[in-house]
Every structure is written in structure tokens, then in C-alpha cells.
Amino acid sequence: MVVRRAVHGMGFRYRLHVRDLPGKPDLVFPRLRSVIQVQGCFWHQHPNCVDCHIPKTGAAYWKPKLDRNCERDKATQAALKKAGWRVLIVWECETRNPAKLGRKLAGFLSR
């Protein structure tokens, strides 16, 4: 919701979870041929993030599950790019700094 509010506040309008696109991106800007994916640091294994860790209990379960999530993310991004869409990934930890998030979003959407 933080990303949605920020983008809306900048005057951009978007569609949510378009089923026709690979991975049903979170925010879709059809006119700009751009999508924004908001990903949780734990579930999508954000590199070098303190929120990205594999639990010590049940590691045999969690490691393959989280690895599959990462593989699916890469395949989805590749399919979107191949179809001519620009992709921005916003990590959960990035939503904690509104000013920095705003700059990132504005830079991506103003191209």
C-alpha cells in the first residue's frame, strides 16, 4: 500500500495484478509499458538484506521453497522484458524510507 499511495500521489494511474501478464505484476502502467513488483525481503530472498534469512528450524523445507520463489521471479522478469515491458522491483525494506522510495519510483516512471 505504501508504494500504491506514493505512485498515486505522483499523479500516476495504474492497474493491479493484470492476469494477462506473466506473474500478475503488482502495479501495471499500460501506457508506459512498465510494471512494478513489490517483493517481500524474506519470501523473495533480497540479497544482502537483514530480513533475508533462512530459518534454522525446517531449513530442509524453507531453502528449496525460497529458491523456487527466486527462480520464478527471474523467469517472470525475463518474460516481461521479452514482451517489451520495463520492470522495477521494490523490496519491502525499501518501503521504510519514503523519501528514497519516492526518488526511486519517480526515476523509473519518468522515463
pLDDT tens column, 62-107:
999 999 999 999 999 999 999 999 999 999 999 999 999 999 999 9
What's the CATH number where 38 sits? 3.40.960.10
Regarding pTM above 0.75, the answer is yes
* Domain enclosing residue 79, as ranges: 2-109
Measured CA to CA in angstroms, residue 50 lies from 43, 46, 54, 79, 110 at distances of 13, 9, 11, 29, 30
* Residue 45: partners with Cβ closer than 8 Å, 6 or more residues away: 52, 66, 67, 69, 70
Q: How many domains does the chain have?
A: 1
